[in-house]
Structure 1
Amino acid sequence: MSFIRTLDKDIAKEELGFTYSHEHIVCRPAFWSERGENDLLLDDPAKSELDVRDFQKHGGQAIVDATAVDYGRDVPAVYQISQNTGIKIIGTAGFNKSFLWKARIKDELKPLIGDYETYEQWIEAASVNELADFVIKEVEEGLEGTPFKAGQVKFGTGYNRISPLEVKTLRAIARAHHETKAPIHSHTEVGTMGLEQLELLKSEQIDLSFVSLGHMDRNPDPYYHEQIASTGAYLSFDGIGKIKYAPESTRISLILDLVRKGYENQILISGDTARKTYYKHYDHGLGLEHIIANWVPRFKLEADKAGFDGEKLIEKFFVSNPAECFSFKR
């Protein structure tokens, strides 16, 4: 049996449709809020909803909200956007990278995790199995005590390093996966440490075809990408539109290189749109419509020129690959 878990119900994977695989819709990360980084606070659900509607207007049907507990989720607000628009939203249980854990835990969470001041204190004090139990409840009962469930589990690591506490959360996520069969997603800082993450997951007997690695285009290294793809894991190219990191020609070349090597079924595409200045209706950015409205037509042209079927590849990257990647397979 295979299904996808959206916030409010389980659906057949054929129902998912055109999907962005890594986004942030409404979040108020405490780490950035405490430092006055207003651009990193997506704190107006009405504006977020307008961008979701733009995505929908161009044919978008589903979004994976990759916001974990330590990144300031607003689960009811995201659920309401899903209800208002009809866009299917997959929520995320688990953790991000460790430097964010120095932030204060909001008071509403303390009854669920204990009276800790920061996420770091909680993660350090809890056992791996206690952290896994928290994640399992978010998948099977609901995120942060709501009835809205997670459809994937997540961990993260830092730039060219994996700290002991990040290893701890990785192992907790692996054990939560074994219990729930929820797909696993990882944050890689600037696309680094992906292979090391996969080795740690293998030590927890994880089938790597259940795993997607984020931010692969931040490390534009075809050799590295091929090594990851050869494990069976999915590669998420989720920096579309962020030209300060690389031009789109680089991303498209990386993607087509993987296709040429036979890995077209392991590629996911998204924007990781996590700043006001990236959103159209917050601050005049490219918005959630940019990939589906502008990047997809360009990719089709580039792929066709290179001798591929661009339409078929877009169907894979945004429809069939997400449907497989985000399935619970029991």
Structure 2
Amino acid sequence: MSQKVNTVLGPVPVDELGKTLMHEHFFFGYPGFYGNSLYPVDKDEILRVGMEVAATVKAHGVKTVVDATPNEAGRDPELLKEIAEKTGLNIICSTGYYYEGEGAPAYFKFKQTLGQAEDEIYEMFMTEITKGIGKTGIKPGVIKLGSGKDTISDYEEMFFRVAGKVQKETGITIITHTQEGTMGPEQAELLVSEGADPSRIQIGHMDGNTDINYHLRTLEQGVFVAFDRFGIQGFVGAPMDKDRVGTLIGLIGLGYADQLIMSHDTVNHWLGKSPEFPDDLKGLVANWHPGNIFENIIPHP
């Protein structure tokens, strides 16, 4: 019997997921966006943009998109469900919290001082995975984790430890955020040490790092490595896409094609007021869109 993965419309057999983008955001807001009452969430606009994104990726043969938005960054499984219903695209949502530097750590850091955080995080993960998110009945298909640049903080490590335990018990896939492609080997080692299956772990944003030996240290642990920020280049520590392609080709040549994943980490609708990129960055992010890999990277000469 085929293994199934939870989508926002219910479980789907793995062999029916088809071509998949493993890390995108239909909508996303940095924690705190909800404090600016001038820019309320516009669900009609999100739905319009979501349908456009679905049409774009489906035109390139994509059948499934993983929305990697963590719990505190505007995740709305019912809105994702509406996009999926209207477009026929499989959408997988996440459970998890963002890395400390850009997340909302105060709540669980307070609980951490009381020695209560890990039990509550475990309860949160397990309940959402087995019963559904809130009263929606929608179950996430992945756990989303993150760590900062050159370090995994005590706060972040707490989520990794719990996620490793939950993954061992449920079999759910784990996807991660690495800041500028750092701490990939350490993330993998930590999760595996807690009992997680390396074949169900994707270490994300590793294309922020062009050191092949660093990638090998991660890949040798049996996990997947994601080149999932194509189109983000020249800022936030990101290399140019052409340099990512060179690193990717090198790893393919070394025999790791089956452990490499490509995506964009696009934010297709910003919650709160949309950021305005300065003129010197506009050209660099011109290809940060969900069609970039199919239109510009795969046909690369």
Please give the range of the TM-score, normalised by the shorter of the 2 chains: 0.7 to 0.9
Residue 139 of structure 1 is matched in structure 2 by 129
**8 Å CA contact 2:228, 2:265 repeated in 1:** yes
**8 Å CA contact 1:26, 1:45 repeated in 2:** no
- Using the alignment, how far apart are the partners of 1:123 and 1:274 within structure 2? 31
Residue type at the aligned position of 1:85: T
Of 33, 54, 57 in structure 2, the residue corresponding to residue 55 of structure 1 is: 57
- Using the alignment, how far apart are the partners of 1:75 and 1:123 within structure 2? 27
- Using the alignment, how far apart are the partners of 1:83 and 1:124 within structure 2? 43
Superposition RMSD in Å: 2.7
Structure 1 unpaired stretches of 5+: 104-116, 303-330
Shift of residue 99, structure 1, vs aligned partner: 2.5
Identity %: 28
Of 184, 192, 195 in structure 1, the residue corresponding to residue 182 of structure 2 is: 192
Q: Which whole-Å deviations, capped at 9, do the CAs of 1:13-68 have from their partners, x for residues lacking one? A: 110111111001123332355589x8xx9973322321221211232211011111
Aligned to 1:273, what secondary structure does the other structure show? coil
**8 Å CA contact 1:132, 1:172 repeated in 2:** yes
- Using the alignment, how far apart are the partners of 1:17 and 1:222 within structure 2? 29
Residue 200 of structure 2 is matched in structure 1 by 210
Aligned to 2:144, what secondary structure does the other structure show? strand
- Using the alignment, how far apart are the partners of 2:163 and 2:4 within structure 1? 20
Work out whether 1:121 is the aligned partner of 2:114: no
What pairs up with 1:178-327 in 2 under 5 angstroms?
178-244=168-234, 245-274=238-267, 276=269, 286=287, 287-298=289-300, 302=301
Aligned to 2:252, what secondary structure does the other structure show? helix
Of 154, 158, 181 in structure 1, the residue corresponding to residue 144 of structure 2 is: 154
Residue type at the aligned position of 2:240: P
- Using the alignment, how far apart are the partners of 1:124 and 1:141 within structure 2? 29
**8 Å CA contact 2:49, 2:269 repeated in 1:** no
Shift of residue 202, structure 1, vs aligned partner: 2.8
**8 Å CA contact 2:150, 2:182 repeated in 1:** yes
Residue 20 of structure 1 is matched in structure 2 by 21
Matched residue count: 280
TM-score by length of 1: 0.77
- Larger % of helix: which? 1
Residue type at the aligned position of 1:121: F
- Using the alignment, how far apart are the partners of 1:99 and 1:242 within structure 2? 19
Q: Which whole-Å deviations, capped at 9, do the CAs of 1:286-317 have from their partners, x for residues lacking one? A: 4322222332322xxx4xxxxxxxxxxxxxxx
Shift of residue 123, structure 1, vs aligned partner: 5.7
**8 Å CA contact 1:213, 1:234 repeated in 2:** yes
- Using the alignment, how far apart are the partners of 1:178 and 1:58 within structure 2? 34
- Using the alignment, how far apart are the partners of 2:50 and 2:267 within structure 1? 11
Residue 321 of structure 1 is matched in structure 2 by none
Q: Which whole-Å deviations, capped at 9, do the CAs of 1:232-277 have from their partners, x for residues lacking one? A: 1100101111232322221111111111111111011000002659
Aligned to 1:297, what secondary structure does the other structure show? coil
Residue 95 of structure 2 is matched in structure 1 by 93
TM-score by length of 2: 0.84
